[in-house]
């Protein structure tokens, strides 16, 4: 006998789902929806074992008076879950906490609003970095970094700074030339008005003089920026985000004003060993910075570090320029196959 769906269509030989209005004698618990191998179980155990007070999380001890607050462990679990699943927005995390079964299980059906999540992330930046350090130490204790090989690569992240608000020597010179050309064009038009008053309307003359005054003010402002640029170490000035720098990207004629995020990843288990945010646009000097953070435990990032002589790069025309850092204390491995 054929079955029909709500729209009256035949449902022969299809996998059938459960009836939505069907009641059960013993409702399923939330834990039944989370598999034993689900990564959220690792997040739950890891956060519960942290000493949040020592790491710098405020509110780990409840206040005697006032409205109860969310425990930092709950908010930290939400933050880590968002990091693992590429959910950066606090508003999206709030939405996921209300509908995502994994987050419901992780937080005990708690759903903080986006402002609470955003404030937690803003106020506990140093503590969250210490949590990352604790995770790296845990991976070392579990011997997940025993091979001593890490892949180092950088990614460009756009800053909240418009390209027009970033100045280099070349940009400043080009802008000054544009303003000078504009002044010349306006002066030619004013000269024509002097020779033949009927050729240019009086209102137009007043407007041209106002434009010339504004351009001269812009040139004085650019001159002040040029003086500030001389005092800068790298010859760049960003007005909105002072730490952001202009960086070239892979596309021709493209570039962003942002940061270069360097990450060192374990080659075997793909664990992030160390990361750093820099405003240097190239990766040439970055591998040496990770000598001290390398799983082998070699200290120092100077020219005498044994790992610096064992840096291998991909070809220059490769889209991804990954450096493989071989610690001197690790076992001998043929690195040529990785490049």
Domains in the chain, number: 3
Identify the H or E element spanning 119: helix 114-123
Residue 303 phi/psi, 5-degree rounding, is: -65, -15
* Same structural domain, 248 and 301: yes
* 213-249 pLDDT, tens digit each: 888 888 888 888 888 877 777 788 888 888 888 888 7
Last residue of a domain, one of 217, 235, 253: 235
* Same structural domain, 39 and 120: yes
Instruction: Identify the pLDDT of residue 290.
Output: 56
* Same structural domain, 188 and 296: no
d(CA 84, CA 82): 5
Sign of CA dihedral 325, 327, 330, 333: positive
Q: Strand 323-326 vs strand 149-158: parallel, antiparallel, or unpaired?
A: antiparallel
Average model confidence (pLDDT) across the chain? 77
Last residue of a domain, one of 189, 211, 235: 235
Residues sharing a CB contact under 8 Å with residue 338, sequence separation 6 or more, in sequence order: 149, 151, 267, 312, 324
Contacts 24+ apart (CB under 8 A), 217-225: 218/179, 219/176, 219/179, 219/180, 222/167, 222/172, 222/175, 222/176, 222/179, 225/167, 225/172
pLDDT of 70 > 90? The answer is: yes
Beta bridge partners of 266: 150
* Same structural domain, 275 and 217: no
* Same structural domain, 82 and 60: yes
Beta bridge partners of 245: 258
Q: Band the pLDDT of 289: cuts 50, 70, 90.
A: low
d(CA 145, CA 293): 11
Instruction: Identify the pLDDT of residue 5.
Output: 56
- Residue 274 forms part of a structural domain: yes
- Residue 164 forms part of a structural domain: no
Q: Choose from 65-79, 294-308, 315-329 the range with maximum mean pLDDT.
A: 65-79
* Same structural domain, 57 and 198: no
Last residue of a domain, one of 213, 235, 257: 235
Whether this model's pTM surpasses 0.85: no
Q: Is 167 within 8 Å of 258 (Cβ atoms)?
A: no
pLDDT of 113 > 60? The answer is: yes
Instruction: Identify the pLDDT of residue 326.
Output: 35
* Same structural domain, 281 and 155: yes
Instruction: Identify the pLDDT of residue 251.
Output: 67
Instruction: Identify the pLDDT of residue 51.
Output: 93
Domain of residue 303 covers 145-159+243-338
* Same structural domain, 298 and 322: yes
Q: Is 13 within 8 Å of 85 (Cβ atoms)?
A: no
* Same structural domain, 230 and 248: no
pLDDT of 8 > 70? The answer is: no
* Same structural domain, 68 and 103: yes
Going by C-alpha positions, the residue among 132, 331, 166 that lies closest to residue 246 is: 166
* Same structural domain, 285 and 174: no
Instruction: Identify the pLDDT of residue 303.
Output: 41
* Same structural domain, 151 and 282: yes
- Residue 22 forms part of a structural domain: no
């Amino acid at each position: 006998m054929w079955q029909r769906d709500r729209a009256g269509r035949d449902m022969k030989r299809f996998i059938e789902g459960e009836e939505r209005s069907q009641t059960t004698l013993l409702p399923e618990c939330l834990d039944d929806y989370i598999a034993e191998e689900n990564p959220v179980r690792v997040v739950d155990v890891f956060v519960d074992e942290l000493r949040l007070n020592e790491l710098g999380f405020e509110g780990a001890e409840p206040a005697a008076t006032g409205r109860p607050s969310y425990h930092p462990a709950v908010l930290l679990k939400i933050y880590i879950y968002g990091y693992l699943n590429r959910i950066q927005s606090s508003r999206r995390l709030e939405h996921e906490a209300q509908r995502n079964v994994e987050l419901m299980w992780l937080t005990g059906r708690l759903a903080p609003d986006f402002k609470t999540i955003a404030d937690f992330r803003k106020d506990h930046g140093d503590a969250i970095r210490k949590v990352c350090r604790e995770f790296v130490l845990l991976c070392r204790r579990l011997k997940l970094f025993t091979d001593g090989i890490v892949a180092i690569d950088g990614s460009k992240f756009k800053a909240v700074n418009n390209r027009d608000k970033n100045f280099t020597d070349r940009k400043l010179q080009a802008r000054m030339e544009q303003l000078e050309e504009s002044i010349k064009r306006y002066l030619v038009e004013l000269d024509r008005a002097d020779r033949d008053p009927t050729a240019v309307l009086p209102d137009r003359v007043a407007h041209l003089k106002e434009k010339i005054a504004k351009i001269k003010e812009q040139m004085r402002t650019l001159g002040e920026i040029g003086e500030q640029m001389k005092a800068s170490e790298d010859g760049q000035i960003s007005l909105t985000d002072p730490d952001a720098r202009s960086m070239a990207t892979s596309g021709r004629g493209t570039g962003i004003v942002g940061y270069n995020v360097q990450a060192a990843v374990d080659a075997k288990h793909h664990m992030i060993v160390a990361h750093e945010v820099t405003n240097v646009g190239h990766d040439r000097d970055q591998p040496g910075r990770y000598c001290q953070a390398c799983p082998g435990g070699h200290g120092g990032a100077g020219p005498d570090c044994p790992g610096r002589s064992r840096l291998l790069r991909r070809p220059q025309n490769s889209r991804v320029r990954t450096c493989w850092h071989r610690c001197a204390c690790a076992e001998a491995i043929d690195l040529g196959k990785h490049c």
